[in-house]
Amino acid sequence: MERTLIVIPALNEQRRIGELLSGIRRAAPGVSLLVVDDGSRDATASIAAAAGARVVSHPFNLGYGAALSSGYRYALRAGFGRVIQMDADGQHDPESLARIGERLDDGVDLVLGSRFLHAESYRPPLARRIGILLFSGLVSLALGRRISDATTGFQGLSASLLGFYTQQGSFPADYPDANILIRCGRAGFRIEEVPVRMRANPDGGTLHVGLKPLVYILRMLFAVAIESTRRLPRGVS
Amino acid sequence: MEIAQGLIAAVGVSLAAVAFLLGRAERLSSGHGVTYLLLGLVLAVAGLLGPTLGRWLLGAGGPMAALFCVTLVLLPLLLGLLLYQAVTLTGLRERLLRTAQEVALLRSALAEGAADRKDAATDSEAHPD
C-alpha cells in the first residue's frame, strides 16, 4: 500500500486542531499528518507541531486552494503516494478515512467523501443544501454521471492526480470546488464517491454568512462556465 | 445620443467577453471574473436603458444626465480595473503566490532537517559505538 499523507489546510483553528489530530491518530495509526497553516494569527501551527504533525506555514494568508496545493507539493516532494485531505474544523469524521483509502487502493484517482450517501451524516441547512445541489447537478451534467456532493472537502487523491494538480495552472488558488471536479473528469481521471460521516460545525457557525454565499455561488458559476469550455493544460489527453 | 449609448453598451459587452476569455486562459481569478462580468452587464444595460430611465426619472433633460453619469462614474472605474488587471496579466500575482508557497515549503524542510539532525545526535549520545 502507498504511503498516505493526510493534508489539513487550517486557518485560526487552535481550538480544534489538536482534537482532530488525536482523532486521526486513533482512527488511522501510522499515517503521516501535514497541517498547512495558511497564515493563522493564533497558535494553530505550534499546537499541530506539538501533536506530532508536519507543518507548512504560509507567510501570510494565500487562500484555501493555495493551502491545498502546498500540501500536494509537499506530498510529492516527500515521496508520498497519495493524499487524503480533510478540513480542520472537525466536521470530517476520521473514522471515514479507511473507506477513502480502500478506494484509492482500488485505483481510483479522486475519491470524494459524500455526506449525502451516509445515513448518519448531518444535513446542512436548506440554503446550503440548495447550493450543493446546484453545483452537484452541474458537475453531474458535465461528467455524465451522478455526483451527490460536489463541494466536499473530504477527498482522497492518487499520485497521478497530485502530479496533474501541481502542473502549472492546473489547480485554482482561490476556490477549487465543482470546477476542479469537472477538470479532473475531462482529463480522464477516475472519480468515485464513498459515504462519509460529517458532523455539524462544533461551534454551530459557518463561513457562509452574510453575502458570502451569494458571492461564492457567482464565483463558482463563473468558474464552472469557464471550466466547461477551456482547453486542458498541455500534456493531458 | 444613440452613438454614445451604443458605445457604452459595446464597452460593457466587450468587458464581459474579455472577462470570459481571460478566465478561460487562467489569467483571471473567479472573483475578478465575476466582478468584470457584472460590471460589463451593468454598462451594457446602462448604455441601452440609461436614457429611457433618465427620461422617466428626471424628465426632458434626463437622458443626457444619465449618459453623463454613466460616463463619469463607470468608465473611469473600468479603466482603473483594466490597469489593475494589466498587473495581474504580467503574472506578478501568480509569481508572488508561488514564491510564498516555496518559502513555506523550504522553511518546513529546513525545520524537519534540523529536527532529524537533533534526533540523530541524541541517539548517538545515548548509544555511542
Of A101, A198, A183, A114, the closest CA to residue A151 belongs to A114
Task: Choose the closest CB to A175 out of B30, B103, B112.
Answer: B30
Whether the CA torsion B116, A97, A57, B30 is positive or negative: it is: positive
Distances (CA, A) of A118 to A24, A40, A113, B104: 19, 32, 9, 37
Chain A neighbors of B111, CB-CB under 8 A: 55
The pLDDT, as a whole number, for residue A210 is: 66
Kindly indicate the confidence band of residue A231, based on its pLDDT and cuts at 50, 70 and 90: low
Domain spans of chain A, in order of start: 4-227
Q: Do A60 and B112 touch (CB under 8 A)?
A: no
Q: Tell me what the mean pLDDT of segment A163-176 comes to.
A: 78
Nearest Cβ partner for B26 among A54, A59, A169? A169
Interface of A with B in 126-155 (CB under 8 A): none
Task: Tell the CATH topology of A4-227.
Answer: Spore Coat Polysaccharide Biosynthesis Protein SpsA; Chain A (3.90.550)
Question: Higher pLDDT residue, A217 or B128?
Answer: A217
What kind and span of H or E run contains A160? Answer: helix A159-165
A56 Cβ under 8 Å from any chain B Cβ: yes
Mark yes or no for CB contact B105/A70 under 8 Å. yes
pLDDT for the residue B37? 85
Size of interface A-B (CB pairs under 8 A): 74
| pLDDT tier at A40, thresholds 50, 70, 90 | very high
Q: Mean pLDDT for chain A?
A: 88
Touching check for B114 and chain A: CB below 8 Å? no
A181 or B78: which leads in pLDDT: A181
Residue pair B30/B93 in contact (Cβ under 8 Å)? The answer is: no
> What pTM does this model have?
0.80
Q: Give CA–CA dist A103/A92, Å, rounded.
A: 17
Which grid coordinates are listed for B34? 465575476
Residues of chain B with Cβ-Cβ distance to A220 below 8 Å are 30
Chain B residue with CA closest to A55: the answer is: B108
Task: Give the position of cell 449525502.
Answer: A116
Per residue in B36-81, pLDDT tens?
888 888 888 888 887 777 777 777 666 777 777 777 777 777 777 7
Q: What is residue A101's predicted lDDT score, i.e. its pLDDT?
A: 95
Q: Which residue has the higher pLDDT, B82 or A28?
A: A28
Q: B14 CA to chain A: closest CA distance, Å?
A: 16
H or E segment to which residue A65 belongs = helix A64-77
pLDDT tens for A189-218 read: 999 999 999 988 766 555 555 677 787 888
Predicted pLDDT at A235: 47
Confidence label for A142 from pLDDT (cuts 50, 70 and 90):
confident
